[in-house]
Chains A and B, each alone.
Chain A
Amino acid sequence: MSGKNTMSIYDLSKKPIAWIDISTYCNAGCPQCHRTDPNGLGKIGWLPLIQWSLETFKKAWTIENLNAISQFEICGTWGDPLMCKDIYKICEYIIKESDVSILMNTNGGMRDDDFWWELGLLGDKNRMQIIFDVEGINQEMHSHYRRKVNFEKLKQNIQSFTAAGGNALAHVIVFKHNEDYIEQILDMCYNELDMTHHVVQLSNRFGESGKEEYIDEKGNPFILEESSLPVGDPRFELPAPHRDHKWWKEKGHALVLPHLDTERNM
């Protein structure tokens, strides 16, 4: 290598966190996502379709490289990681061959409940957490932003995952259309879907007008509006209405993020 080694900006002795993007495929068409063409909600034209196979992953993430990090954050800036055909095998490889933990974002609307059951069985609660986007209490509300995601399928998938012991966090982005339903969304997440934790945050991708116009997948125009809730609204800090306290106390909550940064899986 021509670049000479000096002193990294990272503390490698403390095993850094690796944020990895392994897929540019997605089943959804979320309007404010970097991946989305606002005119029709498909993939933006310049973005190539890429997904990492297990073989590719193992070649890049050798045991030596796995041992150099503490955690994967598999977010999905350009696509949903659960769209990788080999995602289960990739997670299995990480879990079985290293001590690295996994935090993974998804819209949760793909695959069947058998897949989510198996994924729930794979991860110890302190080794793997899946962050599901949940932004409504019914199909209309949820898919006003999470376009093309089947709400009932999402709920079934989360239920299968948590029933198998999976650790599921609810990620709720607040817009005008769901700002009055935050409590109900969280109630559903904990009491119906048995999720572990939640993060509620405003979308930060609006311009000054607070309104954005899009053309949906059927060619119809629609408007997405910014929430009117102030940043300090207490609904952003609501406590969990219910939680598996036995696990929470016994195992801690090592994987629960203190906050989600604003670029995450919009």
Chain B
Amino acid sequence: MACIECIWAKDNKFLVNPDGQVWPCCYLSNQGFKFKEKGQWNDPDIIARGVNDIVNPIMQKYWEWEDELNINNHSLAEILNHEWFAKTLPDSWEGDNPHRICVMMCDKDG
């Protein structure tokens, strides 16, 4: 199991993309922004193929709550305390299916 310590959270830093979406780091945000603009995050073919960067539960949950995680819609406190930042993401680091990028960038044992 990976031992993930988010380096951005450790620095108490988060990111807001040009579309207003709030993300925990540039690595996930760059992917998220690209997937959204290319329409890949909800592409049935890609999802059917099980491409993990897209079907990983933290990403699918993010898109489910997309509007709630946008600074144009909600206050910063509401967003940073949102379940996605407070439970979904940190719980994924403790589970058996963390996002590939979290492992690649923030696995202390990696």
Interface residues of A (CB under 8 A from B): 1-12, 14-24, 34, 46-48, 50, 52, 56, 59-62, 64-65, 68-69, 73, 77-79, 263
A34 to B37, CA, bound (A): 14
A20 and B15 in contact, given A2-B68, A47-B37 (Cβ under 8 angstroms): yes
A3 to B83, CA, bound (A): 5
B74 touches A10 (CB 8 A): no
A20 to B83, CA, bound (A): 22
A9 touches B37 (CB 8 A): no
- Specify which chain B residues have a CB less than 8 angstroms from the CB of A78 in the assembled complex: 18, 33
Smallest Cβ-Cβ distance to B26: which chain A residue = A263
A14 to B14, CA, bound (A): 13
- Specify which chain A residues have a CB less than 8 angstroms from the CB of B87 in the assembled complex: 4, 6
Interchain residue pairs with CB less than 8 A apart (11): A1-B82, A5-B81, A6-B81, A6-B87, A9-B24, A9-B85, A10-B9, A20-B15, A48-B37, A60-B71, A64-B77
Partner among A8, A22, A73 whose Cβ is within 8 Å of the Cβ of B85 = A8
B65 touches A19 (CB 8 A): no
Partner among A5, A16, A22 whose Cβ is within 8 Å of the Cβ of B18 = A22
A5 touches B19 (CB 8 A): no
A140 to B90, CA, bound (A): 47
Cβ distance A221 to chain B, nearest Cβ, rounded Å: 26
Smallest Cβ-Cβ distance to B93: which chain A residue = A9
A64 to B76, CA, bound (A): 9
A19 touches B71 (CB 8 A): no
A251 to B15, CA, bound (A): 29
Q: Does residue B89 face the partner (Cβ distance < 8 Å to A)?
A: yes
Interface residues of B (CB under 8 A from A): 6, 9, 11-20, 24, 26-27, 29-30, 33-34, 37-38, 65, 68, 71-72, 74-78, 80-87, 89-90
When A and B form their complex, what is the total count of cross-chain residue pairs whose Cβ atoms lie within 8 Å? 108
A9 touches B18 (CB 8 A): no
A16 and B82 in contact, given A10-B9, A65-B71 (Cβ under 8 angstroms): no
Partner among B13, B77, B84 whose Cβ is within 8 Å of the Cβ of A17 = B13
- Specify which chain A residues have a CB less than 8 angstroms from the CB of B12 in the assembled complex: 10-11, 14-17
B76 touches A69 (CB 8 A): yes
B85 touches A19 (CB 8 A): no
A59 and B72 in contact, given A21-B16, A68-B77 (Cβ under 8 angstroms): yes
B80 touches A1 (CB 8 A): no
B14 touches A16 (CB 8 A): yes
Cβ distance B94 to chain A, nearest Cβ, rounded Å: 12
A10 touches B75 (CB 8 A): no
B82 touches A19 (CB 8 A): no
- Specify which chain B residues have a CB less than 8 angstroms from the CB of A69 in the assembled complex: 76
B77 touches A12 (CB 8 A): yes
Cβ distance A19 to chain B, nearest Cβ, rounded Å: 4
A77 and B68 in contact, given A6-B83, A10-B85, A65-B76 (Cβ under 8 angstroms): no
B24 touches A24 (CB 8 A): no
A34 to B14, CA, bound (A): 19
**Which 6 pairs from chain A and chain B are nearest by CB?**
A3-B83, A6-B86, A17-B13, A3-B82, A9-B9, A19-B15
- Specify which chain B residues have a CB less than 8 angstroms from the CB of A10 in the assembled complex: 9, 12, 14, 80, 85
B77 touches A3 (CB 8 A): no
